[in-house]
């Protein structure tokens, strides 16, 4: 049987980056996938529209762990406008692809990050929420 996951996915499943919580997070967002019941929480420290630090906790499948892990690497140090350009396809591409039936797992991380931007801008930064 051929391996359905790329070497990068396997690496992130076995060695997930930025796992845990952040005591000094100023944005905490959750996302869930109703189709499987899995759930993800991001703890994020945002300063001046830049992600200074991010960690995550998850109850999910291997693909969800890998996509959340690489998503933290992709957004670390990035501006919130850059975060809004990240979607499920880009996360999957960064992992050298995901099986089609696992694409919904990467959507969980992307939607949570977009919600984090909206939460920060609508509360802490006092800006209007972006129309998506």
With CB under 6 A as the contact rule, the residue among 38, 56, 66, 83 that binds ligand FES is 38
- Residue spans of beta strands (DSSP E) within 48-115: 50-59
Q: Which is nearer to ligand FES, 67 or 119 (CB)?
A: 67
- Conformational region of residue 79, where left means phi above 0, alpha means psi within -120 to 50, and beta covers everything else: beta
Could you give the C-alpha distances from 79 to 24, 37, 48, 86, in angstroms and in order? 18, 31, 9, 11
64: contact with ligand FES by CB under 6 A: yes
| 19 vs 50, beta carbon nearer ligand FES | 19
* Residue 100 Cβ vs ligand FES, minimum distance, rounded to whole Å: 13
Whether 61 is catalytic is no
Per rule CB under 6 A, count of chain residues that contact ligand FES? 9
Degrees to nearest 5, angle at CA 73 with 95 and 25: 140
C-alpha distances in Å from residue 96, one per residue of 38, 63, 124: 23, 12, 35
76-105 footprint of ligand FES as x/- string (CB under 6 A): -----------------------------x
* Residues in touch with ligand FES (CB under 6 A): 33, 36, 38, 60-61, 63-64, 105, 108
């Amino acid at each position: 049987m051929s391996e359905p996951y790329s070497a990068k996915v396997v690496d992130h499943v076995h060695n997930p980056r930025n796992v845990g919580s952040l005591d000094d997070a100023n944005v905490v967002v959750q996302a869930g996938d109703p189709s499987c019941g899995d759930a993800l929480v991001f703890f994020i420290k945002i300063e001046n529209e830049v992600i200074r630090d991010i960690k995550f906790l998850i109850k999910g499948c291997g693909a969800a762990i890998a996509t959340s892990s690489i998503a933290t690497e992709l957004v670390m140090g990035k501006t919130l406008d850059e975060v809004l350009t990240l979607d499920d396809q880009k996360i999957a591409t960064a992992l050298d692809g995901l099986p089609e039936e696992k694409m919904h797992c990467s959507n969980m991380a992307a939607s949570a990050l977009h919600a984090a931007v909206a939460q920060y801008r609508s509360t802490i930064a006092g800006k209007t929420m972006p129309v998506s």
